[in-house]
Amino acid sequence: MTVAARMPDEAAHRVDVRIQAHDFDSAAEIAALTAGRADIGAVVTFTGLCRDEGGRLAALELEHYPGMAERAIRAIATEAVARFSLQGILAIHRHGKIAPGGNIVLVVAAAPHRQAAFDGAAFLMDYLKTDAPFWKKEHLKDGGTGEWVSAKDADDAAKARWTSAQ
């Protein structure tokens, strides 16, 4: 049984997950998560952006499985809260067409001390990469439709470190 499954209510109310087409404002989200609180000592944020892959890409199109996308990220985030005693965690993942330079994903993790906040954000991203149902398709600058992005072995390895290093 996972840590989160033993304390579902306590962990769940510290989790905020949003799947949306529109952009997000990282600074506003940090401010909202920490507003009115004097107990948070560390906030770590991760922002994933769309690369142009050496000038080749016009956009990435992100397809997702509605329902399961939110459910999967919420389960990972709830586990992160329980495992690292986070005070709060926010994950926003966008879908649709995103141009190079645009935001794809935001994670904000809050904890009393820095290591838990760093670990919580990294844990969530490592599991999100392999377990959250999103797929990227390339749109090329020359007007063509490119390939579906392939999953990377490095992403599986990144996730595996959380189960082998205990």
Partner 1 sequence: MSVRLVYFAWVRERIGKGSEEIDLPPEVKTVGELIAHLATLGEEYEAALQVPGVIRAALDEEHADHDEPIGGAREIALFPPMTGG
Q: Applying CB under 8 A, which residues contact partner 1?
A: 48, 62-65, 67-69, 71-72, 93, 104-105, 125, 128-137, 148-151
Q: Which is nearer to partner 1, 87 or 94 (CB)?
A: 94
Closest CA to 74 of 156, 8, 160, 20: 8
Q: Which is nearer to partner 1, 100 or 133 (CB)?
A: 133
- Rounded to an integer, what distance in angstroms lies between the CA atom of residue 11 and that of residue 54? 41
Q: How far is the CB of 104 from partner 1 (least distance, A)?
A: 7
Q: How far is the CB of 113 from partner 1 (least distance, A)?
A: 25
Contacts of 122 (CB under 8 A, 6+ apart): 46
Q: How far is the CB of 51 from partner 1 (least distance, A)?
A: 12
Q: How many CB atoms lie within 10 A of CB 5?
A: 12
Q: How far is the CB of 37 from partner 1 (least distance, A)?
A: 28
Q: Which is nearer to partner 1, 32 or 151 (CB)?
A: 151
Q: Which is nearer to partner 1, 5 or 68 (CB)?
A: 68
Q: At what angle do helices 68-84 and 114-131 cross, to 10 degrees?
A: 150
Q: How many CB atoms lie within 10 A of CB 94?
A: 23
